[in-house]
A and B are shown apart, each in its own frame.
Chain A
């Protein structure tokens, strides 16, 4: 029988740091813990049922919707959020420069998804890009500039500019 008290205090590895989660509820999602307990508001909540991808983070290198991950189950994992990318990565820069950002609410999730795609596939075709990002909703851009941003990074990296 697990002690509830223990579950309210646990550690997560987020962006390379061990972080203490104090006074959490055992049933809280990773998204809630990141945003409300650890003050990392880069991951966004827009549906809280895994449909919109706004809360995307990397869990041991895998793209997940943090709203669907029980925070207490992630204690042995490495979590990387948008804040952990370091800023000004080629993907982040391409999103800014290609006009892939309007309101920007979906942006952190899309950048996590695009970053993950480009780790798995160095030269994805357009249909592969579309399929890989199909779990991330954007209501402003119509996605054209987002595809453009990812393709821009693909070209840059193939030319050794990364």
Chain B
């Protein structure tokens, strides 16, 4: 049978399609087990005692009154940590339990294990800790002053990083500058921190089921603190209810394992919502100054910027977040001359670290507000100023790195400019639901003014600065079934959907099974930095390609042909020289192969002291347009529509891409309009979903998304990561749209410089206007 060119069989569930999530039905039935749903026979419950002080010396800890409570099994403190007393992602500077000093409100001091939750709570109350309260360092600007006493042995400066390039004497015809600030955002994943630790019978090891983003990093840190070889600690991914960066650092992992080993019984720990706000790192609050120089035609000639990031009490990923901010200060725009200064400092505030967008969110808010100012100063349309400066492939960044990734910034701008606008603003017949204030019925139609705003961004993909970033995947073929094994944390993003798609398309076989996600295989790296499609997708593809090669060799040997003549087309093996086709299900009968591959992206280098070097791996680009209705009197904002054009390389699963885009935009909208952890003297004033607001379905407008699919030559399968970009420039787009409405209402209005926006930022303009 020779019918070359005629596709006999199509493949179901391959790349470019949108097969259903393998866990979708179980999740829809409530049968899927999240880490918080786990239990074990004979299980005990653990709970953490946390510091009530921002900064204090621990004079004494008396656990005796708590131990006397019936049902309390053990209480552990810093003295009970057998191994390394500290942990951390980049620098191991955070104590498992505070030993002598507490550095933020919420820092763990001890952990209790008891028969149940209520006994735990009573025991926590009964532990007597005597503190000597110390002056707290709460202001990041003070922290960088060399005269300020250090609050940590490693000093108050976590990292300083400047980016300096070109001719700094250049002065633009047009200069705009301002100060910007970004509030502390919470990841607010719905599935709270939880883990179940089960000790080995001889207590020589432990198995921990935990919701995390990075099993092997956790494994290394946990084993070191437990003073156990990594082989004695097994981490299994418990069902993860969202992550967004907040599960990249350890939270309760060491505590729960210690309690299980101490009691010899399974122990479960799970945080409440209020404890969760204390238990994971947040998006860094940042103070940013930027000055943009341009020609009178609006061409950028120099960027000056200063970033101050409040890292909180411990380093977490602050240094990498800072690098992202300073290296993305220019946005997706060409500029030859730059002087960017950045510092991340330690304070007695909540520790900050990874959250979707990772430093670029802060930089983008500032540079996009600046681009709007520049447009205004040059008398140009906001899209026109961006068009004139749009970066393209081959351009050199302010770090000296050449953008080798496909950089379709002009295409993004064109796409946005073509998007139709939603129907008219503030029409009298609008239902109250459709006006700012919604069902609250607060808005008078005459107060509604429509605004339109834009935001663009560039985002690095994967890890940077010489980090040995790799992912491992194993592909087994047996009985015609492909089994994939990897440690890639599925946190909701859908890697477990695309991994089988990759296998199907690579091998032409539809039956693909997934092995458990645990540490019985090499590391996959973290589910962060928009990296898993590229990295773990690359690893799965590479492992499947090896198996495919072995299949070709086997067939070639039996047929007396050259393995190079074979190819997969859909679900068939094709001999490209004869055109003969056979279903792959027949070809692989009796064949068994098992291949494991570590996939690495190309190496990167650390930045030098002037911030020069090819520190990033690859880049993705995105643009957003926000249409808002603003109740100009009350300062209420309703986002009417969000439009986006996103550079995705290739959409391996279009439905998943849509999900990332819509979900990411919701988080960007949240930062723009409502989300901020409010601290007073280091204490969170709003540690609940009553007071920390995230967008509801009533807050989220329809999203119109256009994908730019230019496969990236450097990316496996041409696909770029898509997770972070939606979150980044959606925030300034919304603020820019509010600004536009305010300008429309008043001719001009004060420049909006802070997120989240407060109604008073809008309303005080009214009051000022009325006062004139």
Contacts and interface: CB of A to CB of B under 8 A. Distances in A.
A142 B36 contact: no
Interface string B661-672: 111111100000
Nearest to B667: A139
B659 A141 contact: yes
B702 interface: yes
Given A103-B241, A104-B23, A142-B662, A49 B690 contact: yes
Given A104-B23, A146-B697, A111 B492 contact: no
Given A47-B689, A134-B696, A143-B666, A102 B32 contact: no
A99 interface: yes
B70 interface: no
Contacts of A13: none
B484 interface: no
Given A43-B30, A107-B27, 7 more contacts: A102-B494, A108-B30, A130-B698, A134-B698, A139-B188, A142-B700, A145-B662
Nearest to A102: B492
14 contacts: A44-B34, A48-B273, A87-B25, A96-B27, A102-B242, A105-B191, A107-B27, A108-B27, A130-B697, A137-B190, A138-B697, A139-B666, A139-B694, A140-B659
Given A47-B688, A49-B689, A95 B28 contact: yes
A6 interface: no
B30 A96 contact: no
A41 B194 CA distance: 14
Contacts of A48: 272-273
A52 B659 contact: no
The 4 closest A-B pairs by CB, nearest first: A42-B30, A103-B492, A104-B27, A142-B662
Contacts of B658: 99, 144-145
Contacts of A99: 18, 655-656, 658-659
A111 B241 contact: no
Nearest to B27: A104
A64 interface: no
B493 interface: yes
A97 B18 CA distance: 9
Given A47-B273, A48-B272, A103-B491, A41 B30 contact: yes
A140 B663 contact: yes
Contact of A137 (B20, B24, B192, B696): B696
A112 to B, nearest CB: 9
Interface in B183-210: 187-192
A102 B662 CA distance: 12
Interface in A42-99: 42-49, 51-52, 54, 81-83, 85, 87-88, 92-93, 95-97, 99
Nearest to B25: A96
A87 B20 CA distance: 16
B244 to A, nearest CB: 7
B96 to A, nearest CB: 27
Interface in B78-120: 118
B240 to A, nearest CB: 6
B444 interface: no
Q: Give the interface size class of chain A.
A: 35 or more
Pick the most buried of A51, A82, A146: most chain B CB atoms within 10 A of its CB. Answer: A51
B167 interface: no
A83 B30 contact: yes
A139 B702 CA distance: 16
Given A45-B36, A52-B689, A139 B28 contact: no
Contact of A127 (B27, B190, B433, B659): B433
A51 B689 contact: yes
B76 interface: no
Nearest to A85: B29
A46 B192 contact: yes
A136 B190 CA distance: 11
A65 to B, nearest CB: 11
Interface of B: 18, 20-21, 23-25, 27-34, 36-37, 118, 187-192, 239-242, 244, 272-273, 431, 433-434, 439, 491-494, 655-656, 658-659, 661-667, 688-690, 694-698, 700, 702-703
Contact of A42 (B31, B239, B492, B655): B31
Contacts of B688: 47, 49, 51
Given A47-B688, A92-B28, A130-B698, A144 B662 contact: yes
A113 B688 CA distance: 22
A127 B700 CA distance: 11
A104 B32 contact: yes
Contacts of A138: 190, 697
A76 B695 CA distance: 36
B492 A127 contact: no
A103 B434 contact: no
A146 B695 CA distance: 14
B689 A102 contact: no
A131 interface: yes
B39 to A, nearest CB: 8
Pick the most buried of A25, A105, A146: most chain B CB atoms within 10 A of its CB. Answer: A105
B247 to A, nearest CB: 11
Contacts of B434: 127
A139 B273 CA distance: 14
A136 B695 CA distance: 10
A147 interface: yes
B694 A82 contact: no
Nearest to A84: B30
Given A134-B696, A141-B659, A144-B702, A101 B689 contact: no
A54 B190 CA distance: 8
Contact of B690 (A51, A97, A129): A51
A17 B548 CA distance: 53
Contacts of B30: 40-43, 81-83, 107-108
Contacts of A42: 29-31
Contact of A104 (B439, B492, B664): B492
Contacts of B192: 45-46
Pick the most buried of B25, B29, B192: most chain A CB atoms within 10 A of its CB. Answer: B29
A30 interface: no
A154 interface: no
A142 to B, nearest CB: 3
Contact of A105 (B241, B272, B666, B696): B241
Interface in A22-50: 25, 35, 40-49
Contacts of A127: 431, 433-434
A95 B29 CA distance: 11
Nearest to A112: B30
Contacts of B667: 139
B478 to A, nearest CB: 29
Given A42-B31, A108-B30, A147 B190 contact: no
A153 interface: no
Contacts of B703: 142, 144
B29 A83 contact: yes
Contacts of A104: 23-24, 27-28, 32, 239, 241, 492
